Structure 1
Amino acid sequence: MKPTKMRNKMIYRASYQTKSKQLGSALSKDLQKKYGKRSVRVNEGDSVTILRGEFKGVDGKVAEVSTAKSSVAIEGVKKEKTKGDKFDVFIHTSNLLVTSLNTEDKWRIAKLEGKDPRKQPKEAPKAAEKPAKEEPKKETPKAEEKPAKEEPKETKVEKKSEEKEDEN
């Protein structure tokens, strides 16, 4: 196969899983030492630094990940349209450096640490404390209050006809 066909197949016509794997970005030196890996897939909530392009040197959190564009939107990185509207700028993940990870996903952290996430001990379920049942309060019958009758609202047609009569 020609190189251009191979490139198109690998980048532009790749499956969803392959495109997801292509969203990797370099880890900072301290994270490389901690996890023993050089790169990681970028997720929402990760803190990153932009290494290349117009926004070089900007730090921020990943706001949105786009597998279709193979890039991410970062909080605080926006451009302005001529009408004044602002929109997110998507930056390719190869131009980013991950400085801190979003640790909410326990599976992801276990994989980074080299552990088998399936064999991780599950956290004990939290004991759901049930509040003591309160006795229903007995309601005393009250005199039924009837809402005051409201006068029918005037329509626009009636108002206009009244205004015409006043003028004559």
Structure 2
Amino acid sequence: MVRIASTQPRKQRKARYNAPLHARGKFLNAALASDLQEKYGKKSCRIVVGDTVKVQRGDFRGEEGVVDGVDTEKGTVIVHGVSVTKVDGTEVPRPVYASSVTITKLKLDDKKREERLEAGN
């Protein structure tokens, strides 16, 4: 999160809402599954498109799917299979906050990402 000295919730929220886009990427971290925590020696990692996640909170708790999209501005992710039906019958994806999911499988096509995870040990 953006580094501010105050512990007041209103100032914490303001810093989060007004954070620049390059700092908002840090809000997209999610907990790693226990087996991944042991393997990489880290508790959390940034979510990228292609990771497999499990929803931990809300109406879709327990649903598992691949991340189809990441919205850095809102701090949400689009998980395949997590959708709601609109009144006219169309299915639309339901955004989920990154903190509400657990990463169960990492997409390691990016060599730099793999090196950063390995460096955590």
Same fold by TM-score greater than 0.5? yes
Deviations 1:62-106 (A, max 9, x none): 000001110100011111110011111000011101001001111
- TM (norm. structure 2) is 0.89
In structure 2, the residue matched to 1:5 is: 11
Unaligned runs of 5+ in 2: 1-5
The one of 25, 34, 40 aligned to 1:35: 40
Measured after TM superposition, the shift of residue 6 of structure 1 is: 3.8
Matches within 5 A, 1:38-117: 38-114=43-119
Structure 1 stretches of at least 4 aligned residues deviating more than 4 Å after TM superposition: none
Q: Give RMSD over aligned pairs.
A: 1.4
Counting aligned pairs with the same residue, the percent is 37
Unaligned runs of 5+ in 1: 116-168
Deviations 1:47-75 (A, max 9, x none): 00001100000000000000111010001
Q: 1:74 to 1:6 in 2, by over 3 A?
A: closer
Q: Which has the higher contact order (CA 8 A, sep 6+)?
A: 2
Instruction: Tell me the number of residue pairs that the alignment of Structure 1 and Structure 2 aligns.
Output: 114
- TM (norm. structure 1) is 0.65
In structure 2, distance between residues paired with 1:22 and 1:16? 10
